[in-house]
Amino acid sequence: MQRQIPGTVTFTRVVRHARCITRNKSTMPSIPLKRTATADRSVSPPPTKRRSVSTATAQQTEQNGKDVTTTTTNGTLKKVASTTNKKLVQNFFAKASERAPEKTRWDQFENSVYICRYDKSNEHKHVKPRKVALFDFDSTLVVTQSGKKFGREAGDWTWWHSSVEQKLKQLVHEGYLVCIISNQAGLKAPDAKTKAPTAALNKKTSEWKQKVKAVLDVLDLPITLYAARDHDTYRKPRIGMWEQLLKDHDLQPGDIDMNESIFVGDGAGRIAGPKGGKDFSCSDRDFATNVGIPFKTPEEYFLGEEERAWTRSFEPSKYIDTINNSRTDEILTKKNDQDIVLFVGSPGAGKSSFFWRHLEPLGYERVNQDTLGSRDKCLRRAAEYLAEGQSVAVDNTNADIDVRKAWLDLAAKHNVPVRVVLFTASPKLCEHNDTVRALGGIKMNPESRTMLPKMAFSGFAGRYVEPSTREGFQDITKVDFRFEGGEEERKIWGRYWIT
């Protein structure tokens, strides 16, 4: 009978069964006492041969330690990479009272981030400034042993490359603070409204934690892992996990040697080519840029390969004016004593910011469906303002002709013209704006709005019909987005926020 321990070391235990034979030998037929193994190995070899295989395996493991072991495959010995060591094996078979205490300790922060600390009692204090080496987890330190994209079992892992383990040990020896920074949205806690299958999630989380523990046990290094479960401020490329890392290790940004630090990850925005396919995102590279440390891919860091061509899907710096000049759009000058200014644009296109900066100072009253709750309430509130002689700005998306007609009808009742301000921001820019607004702090989000799902942007695009003066508008003014704000706001807005 065999028992398989994660790490591919095979132990063979032979159980002998004896039978007491009381019959007279003379009355019994002659039966061979030893059997032979069949060619396809469906019948096991005799106990003596099994002992020899077991002894050879144990000797090989003893000679090579944790680097190489042997296992049986179709009756032959095969060398494979190992992810375990003698100390782990001994601890596994020890009595519960004799086992070494667990060194991995799990915490959870704000129901969003899993933190796993591998404690080393002999870790010495380091002087500042400290060098930091950060690594993504999947497809950077480890890959699945099965070859599948996502492992289904805790033991389905192996090193990304055979040099990974030694490289991490070298970094710790050189005084680096080594941490793992990983996005794990697959472990997100289910929304109470969705009634997600909790049992399946618990099983998946448990297996993932077992895998993390196995990796850290093999390394036996003072490493902390941070895993962002939600699409919030902790998810890369946002820097929430970096800020939590600094707090946990009692560090200030000035305590880090930024030039000598490094982040290694596979989300690098690489373009498909002869040496590999297209990356799923640029989130790891963007995270390193947000933090302010150098970045390398696993191929560059562990194998010394040259940098491949890469690109970003969105570049915030394109929208930041180097000179903060005030715009003189036509909309800034009132044409009429009283009118309706109808905004048309995607969520996150900059409509609300435009109102507060340019129309509120001109005396316009604002109606907004996010704050009032429905289009009907917006129409009723706008009618009240118009009856009082006020001009109104309609700060909604107003994507299609039918929605816009309701405002044209209201304007006709009050005998006022309707002007359109058309916001031209791209879907990626709108997603960036919405994320900054939701996660960038109170200065970026005075109305405390939550982050919209991606379908909000695709939904607008599906409904959108470009407005025309043939609908009955007095004029249409297009507004291309340019960031406007102070230095602190500019710094926040200019980070990479989306994947």
Q: What is the pLDDT of residues 55-76, one digit of tens each?
A: 433 333 333 344 433 333 333 3
Q: Which residue has the tokens 């033991």?
A: 155
> Counting every residue, how long is the chain?
499
**pLDDT tens, residue by residue, 364-408:** 999 999 899 999 999 999 999 999 999 999 999 999 999 999 999
Distance CA 493, CA 316 (A): 8
For strands 295-296 and 365-367, give the pairing. Answer: unpaired
**pLDDT tens, residue by residue, 164-206:** 999 999 999 999 999 999 999 888 876 666 666 688 888 899 9
**pLDDT tens, residue by residue, 261-275:** 999 999 999 999 999
Distances from the Cα of 257 to the Cα of 261, 312, 495, angstroms:
6, 27, 21
| Domain boundaries 330-493, CATH class | alpha beta
pLDDT of residue 25: 44
Give mean pLDDT, residues 449-469.
93
Tell me if residue 58 falls in helix, strand or coil.
helix
% of the chain at pLDDT higher than 70:
74
- Interacting residues of 2 by C-beta distance below 8 A, sequence separation 6+: 10, 11, 12, 13
Tell me if residue 232 falls in helix, strand or coil.
coil
pLDDT of residue 111: 84
Tell me if residue 310 falls in helix, strand or coil.
strand
pLDDT of residue 188: 81
Q: What is the dihedral sign for C-alpha 92, 95, 101, 102?
A: positive
User: Has residue 31 got a pLDDT over 80?
Assistant: no
CB-count burial class (<10 Å; 0-12, 13-18, 19+) for 47: middle
The residues that bridge with 10 in the sheet, in sequence order, are: 4
Give mean pLDDT, residues 149-173.
93
| Per-position DSSP letters for 68-129, written without gaps between them | EEEEEETTEEEEEE----HHHHHHHHS-GGGSPPP-EEEEEETTTEEEEEE--TTPPP--SS
pLDDT of residue 485: 84
Give mean pLDDT, residues 452-476.
95
Distance CA 173, CA 127 (A): 14
Q: State which H helix or E strand residue 143 sits in.
A: strand 142-143
The mean of the pLDDT values for the chain is 82
Instruction: Give which of 447, 483, 441, 455 is closest to 238, Cα–Cα.
Output: 441
For strands 262-264 and 132-135, give the pairing. Answer: parallel
User: Has residue 79 got a pLDDT over 70?
Assistant: no
| Domain boundaries 101-303, CATH class | alpha beta
> Which residues in the chain are classed under CATH 3.40.50.1000?
101-303
pLDDT of residue 235: 97
Asked whether 490 and 228 are in contact (CB, 8 A), the reply is no
Asked whether 108 and 115 are in contact (CB, 8 A), the reply is yes
User: Has residue 36 got a pLDDT over 60?
Assistant: no
- Interacting residues of 299 by C-beta distance below 8 A, sequence separation 6+: 275, 276, 305, 308
> Which residues in the chain are classed under CATH 3.40.50.300?
330-493
